[in-house]
Structure 1
Amino acid sequence: MTHSSPEKTTAMHQEHDPEYGLDVKADLSGQTATDEHGHSLLHFDPVAERRLVRKIDLYIVPTVALLYLFCFIDRANIGNARLAGFEKDLHLKGYNYNQVLSVFYISYIIFEIPSNMACKLIGPGWFLPGITFGFGILTVCFAFVRDIQTACAVRFLLGIFEAGMLPGIAYYMSRWYRRSELAFRLALYVVMAPLAGAFGGLLASAILRLPHFGTTKRWEMIFAIEGIITIALALIAFVTLTDRPETARWLSHEEKQMALNRLKSERVGATEVLDKMDKKKIVRGIWNPVVLMTSWTFLLNCITVQALAFFAPTIIRTIYPRATVVHQQLMTVPPYIVGAVAILVVNFTSWKTDRRVVYMGFSALPVMVGYCMFLGSTSSKVRYAATFIITTGAFNSGALANAHVAANVVSDTARSSAIGMNVMFGNIGGLISTWAFLPFDGPNFPIGNGLNLAAQGIVAITCLIMWFWMQADNKRRAQEDVARKIDGLSHEEISDLDWRHPGFQWRL
């Protein structure tokens, strides 16, 4: 196994000097950028690197954040429509509303991993705008449903198109950022989930003030207008998104090289940043102990996150039954704003400390406190305060969990399947959440609140177990004779080891 010498590969200190091999195709081609223990052989000018990261932030984050904002709005606006007469107009009774919510998650779960594989094959620059365009059209279509059968059919199709959005964006951003940087950058778009709750409530209340929009009125206008906005954003994204650093017109030749080498310097045994689809690596991404444990915590966490999205307006209505519909919509906004701030603070700290597990575990604690308040009191003020406490912890794992699974695989293929696996489990939690708050359980919902309390307790315990296991396994790996273990293996065989490479260390 050969390596570039440290002297020859410290290219980024003189990024404009041709002697350092700044040709994107030639530099480090067929070579690893780490030694057999996973230590980087590359060194970067910190000023130039910070300038590059700021540039990537500016071009990548705003577009994907807006796409995810309306993705989440188009998924959760049914909660706002419920307050505006959706159930009454469709003659929904008993568990019909829960059934309409559930069917979305059936298709979402089935197509999760295949969607992320398609994202890699097609390229995120085309795939993400394409599915956004699709669920924008289906959101408009939902304005014209008139019975539960049609509503379920449209929601099923919506799940197919939205399945690729959350894991697709997480995978896409892993093509641009270091592992330590990824959690905060993911937070910059995952923060759109609570903001979608806040903005969705504001937008719905504003839309409901209109007498009509074309032939649509009341709740129908919510879907029609928000769907059209989503379609417009998709058309813009076709122009603004670029697949990967090599194809970015807004990066110079030297910046493209630095962007690629930054990623390669963290991938033990890897000889390329974007590898070809490989069955062994797909399995490595899925059958990974850290990915499986993280996916389990994400499943539990999504029970709370999705339940908030679908039932927060209903919960607010039970707290303030005499308020107007518009006022009830507006009352859902402040807790989501608090949740958005918490996401940014927690994930910024995660970035600076390069830690994720501990923040996932501690984020469960305020959520547990909030649900204890729901279970222990019927006071409107106490319960409304509890929604603020819950949102300070509930949304944090959206970025942390995806960043954690991305950090604990090596290859691009394994990363796409790992993120797909994580989000698939999360949406199983979403499916469970649709049955968390049942009609007979209201208005206090002890079953729904108890389920969420138990789920968050298990999240905290799982994260504690995962932290101790990763620490112990890293100590075991540090004692391995790496050179002897990989002696005689080809570059391809070493690359296929992925996280099983003896020099790989778990990232906490």
Structure 2
Amino acid sequence: MATLDGNSSGKEEGNISQEEHVEKDLHTAAEEGVAATDSRGVSVTEFDRVAERKLRNKIDLMIVPTVAVLYLFCFIDRSNIGNARLAGLEKDLGMKGNDYNVLLSVFYISYCLFEVPSNLACKWLGPGWVIPTLCLGFGVSSLGMAFVHNLPAACGVRFLLGVFEAGMMPGMSYYLSRWYRRSELVFRISLFVVMAPLAGAFGGLIASGVLTLSHIGGVTAWRMIFLVEGIITIGLSLISFITLTDRPETARWLTPEEKALAIARVKSERLAQTVVLDKADRRKVWLGFWNPVVLSTSFVFLLNNITVQGLAFFTPTIVASIYPHYTTVQKQLYTVPPYVVGAAFEVVIPLLSWRMDKRQVFMILTAPLTMMGYIMFLASTDAKVRYAATFFTAVSCFAVGALSNAQVAAQVVSDTARSVSLATNMTFGALGGLVATWSYLSWDGPDYPIGNGLNLAASSLLFIVTTATLLWMKADNRRREKLDINQELEGLSQAQIESLEWKHPDWRWKP
């Protein structure tokens, strides 16, 4: 299954066979207190690629589907307000002017506030408990929207929705980092983040189907959307308490050898670390945030989220402005195709990223297509051209979610720093979502030059920042090559070395 450099000669040692010796070495490498790398960050373990592939496939089957389905309804419960708007939400709640933007903003206020605390709780209590609990919370909140009768009540429910949804994306990304290598993580994140564009598609389909009914019990019109989707989410959350395995050590579906391999291979990429799940300390928490590439990537995700959340909340409105004479159900259905195409590229781009073990260059390449889409929005009033523009933006922007989360996870060492880096990325992303709620204003329609211009500016700045960051990473890596590692680490204890994070002299940025 695996060999340790210099310890396995391919012969029996005493009465221990080669296979038994390899298994013993693998379990040793997975134990707490044993470093998986040497002082220069080189893995001391050589893994059997066939065994790794089999294990990875097994983890994919047991872990990814649950996470993906939960995130699908997380995003549906967040974005279904756009579908409800088309079905009469504003009129029934007596909303005027920019009240809709206020309602959207309330969600992101709580979302920003609870991002980091939620992910620290995820590390402390374990994602196997925290993620299902959050899911149950936002399912109940979504259900509550079916029974609000004025704007203040709706704002209160949306605030609670933000509290519970805040930890979902960073928590799931952190959860997957317990199971996958750095290069593998981006594709697995994409397999649940792809549910964001699919949520737009499914949300439109569910909304159009539900709205064909006259009522469900005493619930009518747009309220039925929240009722149905909230009940589904609650049911899924209860199931996930059973199906979501917290970490490899607690996986009853893994053999002891597979557990050891799962732990050892993740540990082998943690520079100078002796444990996979370390104890949190202030230095690691701080360096998980105060990291040049983490901050740069988080700002990129902020810019990207202006577009992503703008599409989620305003695509139905944009479609309505393009096809004003279509029925409500037809408008709902027209929001589906751009999301389906976006979902396909959401998987393809991270798949290429995984195979090449590159993330930064793919973030750079997404920007021009997004820019093209918003140039089309600004340059033409033709309905077909504008509808085509939604495809260009959907194709490119959704992939950045997986790429940026994988990138910030790759630029830190310890489990503690990783939980903070992912939460930081999502906090910045939430700020982008907050900006998005004010990007399409009622008095700016039907062409929305301000909203489209803002998105063009954001995607252009994204292109500049990602390119500059890539150049800086390469330059800093060249600088680090000249350092004397032994001299830099002289006099430091193992605990101090483990706490160095990206300041470790042998650390290299991973573009």
TM-score w.r.t. structure 2 length?
0.96
- Give the corresponding residue for 1:75: 78
Matching residue's letter, 1:122: L
Q: Distance in 1 between matches of 2:191 and 2:423?
A: 19
1:479, distance to aligned residue in structure 2 (A): 1.6
CA 1:459–1:128 in structure 2 vs 1: closer, same or farther (change >3 Å)?
A: same
- Give the corresponding residue for 2:271: 268
After the TM superposition, which residues 205-284 of structure 1 pair with which residues of structure 2 at under 5 Å, given as runs?
A: 205-284=208-287
Matching residue's letter, 1:203: I
- Give the corresponding residue for 2:191: 188
For the 8 Å contact 1:63–1:237, the answer to whether it is kept is yes
Matching residue's letter, 1:414: A
Matching residue's letter, 1:310: F
For the 8 Å contact 2:8–2:21, the answer to whether it is kept is no
1:206, distance to aligned residue in structure 2 (A): 0.5
- Do residues 444 (structure 1) and 443 (structure 2) align? no
1:95, distance to aligned residue in structure 2 (A): 0.7
CA RMSD of aligned residues (A): 1.5
1:225, distance to aligned residue in structure 2 (A): 0.5
Q: Secondary structure at the match of 1:43?
A: strand
- Give the corresponding residue for 1:499: 502
For the 8 Å contact 1:9–1:43, the answer to whether it is kept is no
Q: Secondary structure at the match of 2:500?
A: helix
Matching residue's letter, 1:480: L
Matching residue's letter, 2:345: A
Q: Percent identity?
A: 57
For the 8 Å contact 1:24–1:246, the answer to whether it is kept is no
- Do residues 163 (structure 1) and 166 (structure 2) align? yes
Matching residue's letter, 1:416: S
Q: Which moved more, 1:184-193 or 1:485-494?
A: 485-494
- Give the corresponding residue for 2:95: 92
Q: Distance in 1 between matches of 2:494 and 2:191?
A: 36
1:20, distance to aligned residue in structure 2 (A): 4.2
1:37, distance to aligned residue in structure 2 (A): 2.2
- Give the corresponding residue for 1:394: 397
Matching residue's letter, 1:90: L
Q: Secondary structure at the match of 2:6?
A: helix
After the TM superposition, which residues 353-364 of structure 1 pair with which residues of structure 2 at under 5 Å, given as runs?
A: 353-364=356-367
Q: Secondary structure at the match of 1:270?
A: coil
Matching residue's letter, 2:46: H
After the TM superposition, which residues 442-481 of structure 1 pair with which residues of structure 2 at under 5 Å, given as runs?
A: 442-481=445-484
CA 1:185–1:15 in structure 2 vs 1: closer, same or farther (change >3 Å)?
A: farther
Q: Distance in 2 between matches of 1:92 and 1:29?
A: 57
After the TM superposition, which residues 403-442 of structure 1 pair with which residues of structure 2 at under 5 Å, given as runs?
A: 403-442=406-445
Q: Distance in 2 between matches of 1:313 and 1:499?
A: 44
- Give the corresponding residue for 1:7: 6
After the TM superposition, which residues 167-182 of structure 1 pair with which residues of structure 2 at under 5 Å, given as runs?
A: 167-182=170-185
1:505, distance to aligned residue in structure 2 (A): 0.8
Equivalenced residues, count: 503
Q: Distance in 1 between matches of 2:70 and 2:405?
A: 18
For the 8 Å contact 1:74–1:139, the answer to whether it is kept is yes
Matching residue's letter, 1:424: T
For the 8 Å contact 1:140–1:228, the answer to whether it is kept is yes
Q: Distance in 2 between matches of 1:70 and 1:29?
A: 37
1:212, distance to aligned residue in structure 2 (A): 1.0
Matching residue's letter, 2:327: T
CA 1:16–1:309 in structure 2 vs 1: closer, same or farther (change >3 Å)?
A: farther
Structure 1 runs (4+) deviating above 6 angstroms are: none
- Do residues 35 (structure 1) and 44 (structure 2) align? no
After the TM superposition, which residues 287-302 of structure 1 pair with which residues of structure 2 at under 5 Å, given as runs?
A: 287-302=290-305
Q: Secondary structure at the match of 1:57?
A: helix
For the 8 Å contact 2:26–2:261, the answer to whether it is kept is no
Q: Distance in 1 between matches of 2:153 and 2:116?
A: 26
Q: Distance in 2 between matches of 1:328 and 1:419?
A: 36
Q: Distance in 2 between matches of 1:169 and 1:201?
A: 25
Q: Secondary structure at the match of 2:95?
A: coil
Matching residue's letter, 1:58: L
Q: Deviations over 1:280-327 (max 9, x none)?
A: 101010000000000000000000000000000000000000000000
CA 1:139–1:22 in structure 2 vs 1: closer, same or farther (change >3 Å)?
A: farther
Matching residue's letter, 1:436: S
For the 8 Å contact 1:10–1:44, the answer to whether it is kept is no
- Give the corresponding residue for 2:354: 351
Matching residue's letter, 2:269: E
Of 320, 345, 369, which aligns to 2:372? 369
For the 8 Å contact 2:197–2:339, the answer to whether it is kept is yes
For the 8 Å contact 1:9–1:41, the answer to whether it is kept is no
Of 116, 124, 127, which aligns to 1:124? 127
Q: Distance in 2 between matches of 1:406 and 1:291?
A: 8
For the 8 Å contact 1:10–1:43, the answer to whether it is kept is no
Q: Distance in 2 between matches of 1:389 and 1:128?
A: 33
Q: Secondary structure at the match of 1:326?
A: helix
Matching residue's letter, 1:45: D
1:15, distance to aligned residue in structure 2 (A): 9.4
CA 1:27–1:383 in structure 2 vs 1: closer, same or farther (change >3 Å)?
A: closer
For the 8 Å contact 1:375–1:446, the answer to whether it is kept is yes
Q: Secondary structure at the match of 1:151?
A: helix
Q: Secondary structure at the match of 1:91?
A: coil
1:26, distance to aligned residue in structure 2 (A): 7.7
Q: Distance in 2 between matches of 1:298 and 1:185?
A: 18
Q: Secondary structure at the match of 2:7?
A: helix
